Copies of this chain bind each other. A is one copy, B any other.
Amino acid sequence: ALTACATPQPEDAATSLREHALQDQAGYAFVRDLTTEVGPRMGGTEADARAVAWTKARFEQMGFDKVWTEPVTFPQWQRTHERAHVLGKFPQPLHITALGGSVGTDGELQGEVVMVDDYAALVATPSARVKDKIVFIKNRMRKHKEGAGYGEAVIARGKGALEAEAKGAKALLIRSIGTDSHRFAHTGMMSMSAGSPQIPAAALSNPDADQLERLIAKGKVNLSLDINVGWTGEYTSHNVIAEITGNKKPDEIIVIGGHLDSWDLGTGALDDGAGVAITAGAAYQFIKHRLRPGRTIRVVAFSNEEQGLVGAKAYAKAHANELDRHIVASESDFGAGPIWALKTRLNNADEAFIARATALLKPLGIEYLGNDATSGGPDIIPLAEKGVQLFQLKQDGTDYFDYHHTADDTLDKIDPVAFNQNIAAWTVMLHLFANEWQMDQ
Given contacts A39-B91, A182-B408, A207-B412, 16 further A-B contacts (CB under 8 A): A37-B90, A37-B218, A38-B90, A39-B92, A39-B211, A40-B93, A46-B91, A95-B407, A181-B413, A182-B182, A183-B184, A183-B266, A183-B408, A207-B408, A210-B410, A210-B411
Question: Which of A36, A210, A218 is packed against the most chain B CB atoms within 10 Å?
Answer: A36
In the complex the two chains form, what is the Cα distance from A266 to B207 in whole Å? 10
Q: A266 to chain B: which residues have CB within 8 Å?
A: 183
Q: Is there a chain B Cβ closer than 8 Å to A215's Cβ?
A: yes
Contact, CB under 8 Å: A181 / B412: yes
How far does the alpha carbon of A215 sit from the alpha carbon of B267 in the complex, in Å? 14
Distance in angstroms from A356 CB to nearest chain B CB is: 40
Determine if A92 and B40 form an interchain contact, defined as CB atoms under 8 angstroms apart: yes
Instruction: Give the chain B neighbours of A183 by CB distance below 8 A.
Output: 184, 266, 407-408, 410
Instruction: Return the contact of A211 from the options B36, B47, B86, B218 (Cβ within 8 A).
Output: B36
Residue of B nearest to A41 (CB): B92
Interface residues of A (CB under 8 A from B): 32, 36-40, 46-47, 86, 89-93, 95, 181-184, 206-207, 210-211, 214-215, 218, 266-267, 407-408, 410-413
For the complex formed by this chain, how many copies does it contain in all? 2
A206 and B95 CA atoms in complex are apart in Å by: 20
Neighbouring B residues of A36 by C-beta, 8 Å:
90, 211, 214-215, 218
Q: 25 pairs across A/B with beta carbons < 8 Å?
A: A32-B214, A36-B90, A36-B214, A36-B215, A37-B89, A37-B90, A37-B218, A38-B92, A39-B86, A39-B90, A39-B92, A39-B93, A40-B92, A46-B91, A47-B92, A92-B267, A181-B413, A182-B184, A183-B407, A206-B412, A207-B408, A207-B410, A207-B412, A210-B410, A210-B412
CA distance A412 to B37 in the complex (A): 35
Q: Which chain B residue lies CB-closest to A207? A: B410
Task: Please give me the 8 A-B residue pairs with the lowest Cβ-Cβ distance, nearest first.
Answer: A39-B92, A207-B410, A36-B214, A183-B407, A181-B412, A37-B90, A183-B408, A207-B412
Closest to A413 in B: B181
Residue on B nearest A40 in the bound complex, by CB: B92
How far is A407 from B92 in the complex, measured between Cα atoms in Å?
A: 12
Q: How far is the CA of A4 from the CA of B36 in the complex (A)?
A: 60
Residues of B within 8 A of A182 (CB): 182, 184, 408
A3, B86: Cα distance in complex, Å = 33
